Amino acid sequence: MIPLSEEKISEKIKELNGWTWENNCLKKKFEFSNFRDAMTFLVRISYEAEGMDHHPEISNCYNRVSLSLNTHDAGGKVTEKDFSLALAIDRIK
């Protein structure tokens, strides 16, 4: 995987809904009405991530979920693979 340039990331992030780019990661926070909804979301993400063989860093506390995406095979930088998973996650939420 080839890391994307800062210019390309800045351009592509406009295609996403509410994602930010910081510390070489795409990041987004989600809030749900309860724990069950947050966990359902995480299970749905797991199928997308496993299908792409690309796994996000996940943090969950009750009804809040935080995701962070970068590509380990690209030295922990953002690649097209991260944008593909972010778009798939946006379709879930």
Q: If DSSP codes are grouped into helix, strand and coil, which group holds residue 21?
A: strand
* DSSP single-letter state for residue 14: G
49-89 pLDDT tens trace: 999 999 999 999 999 999 999 999 999 999 999 999 999 99
Q: Which amino acid is at 39?
A: M
Helices (H) and strands (E) in the chain, counts: 3, 4
Q: Which amino acid is at 57?
A: E
Across the chain, mean pLDDT equals: 97
Q: Which amino acid is at 19?
A: W
**In the predicted structure, residue 46 carries a pLDDT above the cut 90:** yes
- The span from the CA of 68 to the CA of 45, in Å, is 13
In the chain, the domains with their CATH numbers are: 26-92 (3.30.1360.20)
- The span from the CA of 52 to the CA of 8, in Å, is 21
- The span from the CA of 10 to the CA of 61, in Å, is 29
